[in-house]
Structure 1
Amino acid sequence: MHTSTLFTAVALLCIAVNCSVAFDSTTLPSGCTSGQELMSKTVNVDGHEVLYQTIACSGQSADDTAGDPSSQRRGFAPDSVRFKRTTGECTTPAPECQCGAPVVCNCSFVTPGIQTPIPVDCGVLIDSLTVVAEVEGSTFFVETFTVMQLSYQTCVLTFTPLDTRVGILLEYCWNELAVGAGEATVKCFEGGSPSAQALCTPTVQTEGFNWEYSLLRSAP
């Protein structure tokens, strides 16, 4: 089982205009017909470099998800006790701030031709969330028609708003994302029956403020 380790390392930031690293279009929602990188940073975690990007998506609809490789799924809810938190970390009111929203995650079983990410890679990626929070604050914002993506080696984490209105900002807590992604890594990618993807969504759907995050394999 992977346990996130708190690092005090300072994130090394690389502004997009000075970076030429391409994003992984295979991990974006299926309706993202054309993506454009808006921001790119490199986060250093104990010597490992994690790529942190924001990507503008056109043609995305509320029914799109980040590529469900199989209809066979098993679900679980991340530890609800750790998700019972106050809204003290929010800088915007609900429903814009989704910190504390109960989450359910589903694991998609491996199908022919679909590979699972290496759990150790996902562990490094999840540790980077703590580093980013130390530098940028405890919450992050993602606007509709954009995707936040972090990637390290074989593992990619995406956070996607599913609203179709332009200019809606969702706020979410880095530590809650780390908890949910950490448990998804353990339950979906470790053990005897690894999965191709972990997809997590709020259990209570708030009209106009739906979202999802997923862990999956990056393109070779």
Structure 2
Amino acid sequence: MKLLTISVFFLSYSIASFIMIIETEAVQIPGLTDCPSVAVVDSVTINVNGNGIQSTTLKCMDADLSERAATHSRPRNLLSGPSDLLRRNAAECKTPAPECQCGLQFGCSCPQSTSRAPDNGDCLTLIDSLQVISQLVGTTFTVPSQGLELLQFQTCAIEWINQSRDTLEYCWDELGTLASIANQQCLLPAVSTEGACTPVDGLWVMNVIRIDT
């Protein structure tokens, strides 16, 4: 899976760190898992401690991701999650459930869907950056139906895929918790090349994967 490089206009400002907002036309990106053609809704590059973290919101144009929800509602090889902490995170939401998905119990598994795992140093940088991102842009993010939020630093990417037919809201700090669990259980011990987590309602899936640009 490759992320297309787009020439865009940069608008920058500083809020405790340097942020670049990227305005762009919707374009097609082939090769995305379960969605051969997607449109870029918007893209933001955030400089965290000198590292450029690319955050891109995409929308699937040619597949119904909600068809996957039932199959992901009971993930195999469940790993334990800090459910008490996650329930407290639900208070950060601006919307009520079910749009707010923070605080749900979840399970994780270790798929082997790519030939190589991302560089772990890249993943640690990306996961650590989520704490700063939440301070800069707010505690939560929203993803439209059939859309996904893709965060990338060099070879490592975190994708949060909305498999429902409605807009969903999720918490940045909880995303960091899930990505850290997937990294520690799947990537660090070289159990697999990917880590994946999904909630009990099956409305979304979070993957930590490799992207070669």
TM (norm. structure 1) is: 0.77
Instruction: Write the distance in 2 (CA, Å) between the matches of 1:55 and 1:81.
Output: 31
Q: Give the equivalent residue in structure 2 for 1:58.
A: 61
Matched, 1:101 2:104: yes
Instruction: Write the distance in 1 (CA, Å) between the matches of 2:197 and 2:160.
Output: 9
Give the structure, 1 or 2, with the largest relative contact order (CA under 8 Å, sep 6 or more): 1
Matched, 1:182 2:197: no
What's the % identity of the aligned pairs? Answer: 32
Instruction: Write the distance in 1 (CA, Å) between the matches of 2:107 and 2:18.
Output: 30
Alignment of 1:1-220 (within 5 A): 9-17=16-24, 25-26=30-31, 28-30=32-34, 32-61=35-64, 62-64=66-68, 74-85=77-88, 87-109=90-112, 114-163=115-164, 165=165, 168-191=166-189, 193-205=190-202, 210-220=203-213
Instruction: Write the distance in 2 (CA, Å) between the matches of 1:84 and 1:203.
Output: 13
Q: Would the aligned equivalents of 2:130 and 2:172 in 1 still touch at CA under 8 Å?
A: yes
Secondary structure in structure 2 of the residue aligned to 1:75? coil
Work out the number of aligned pairs and report it. 191
Q: Would the aligned equivalents of 1:76 and 1:106 in 2 still touch at CA under 8 Å?
A: yes
Q: Would the aligned equivalents of 1:11 and 1:132 in 2 still touch at CA under 8 Å?
A: no
Give the superposition deviation at 1:90.
Answer: 1.3
Give the superposition deviation at 1:117.
Answer: 1.0
Q: Would the aligned equivalents of 1:161 and 1:170 in 2 still touch at CA under 8 Å?
A: yes
Give the superposition deviation at 1:109.
Answer: 4.1
What's the C-alpha RMSD, in Å, of the aligned pairs? 2.4
Give the superposition deviation at 1:108.
Answer: 1.7
Q: Would the aligned equivalents of 2:89 and 2:174 in 1 still touch at CA under 8 Å?
A: no
Structure 2 stretches lacking a partner, 5+ long: 1-14, 70-75
Which protein has the bigger helix share? 2
Instruction: Write the distance in 2 (CA, Å) between the matches of 1:77 and 1:148.
Output: 24
**Structure 1 residues 183 and 25, CA gap change in structure 2 (3 angstroms):** farther
Give the superposition deviation at 1:128.
Answer: 2.0
Q: Give the equivalent residue in structure 2 for 1:3.
A: none
Secondary structure in structure 2 of the residue aligned to 1:108? coil
Q: Would the aligned equivalents of 1:75 and 1:107 in 2 still touch at CA under 8 Å?
A: no
Q: Give the equivalent residue in structure 1 for 2:4.
A: none
Q: Give the equivalent residue in structure 2 for 1:68.
A: none
Secondary structure in structure 1 of the residue aligned to 2:88? coil
Q: What amino acid sits opposite 2:204 in the alignment? A: W
Q: Would the aligned equivalents of 1:102 and 1:202 in 2 still touch at CA under 8 Å?
A: yes
Moved over 3 A (4+): 22-26
Give the superposition deviation at 1:169.
Answer: 1.3
TM (norm. structure 2) is: 0.80
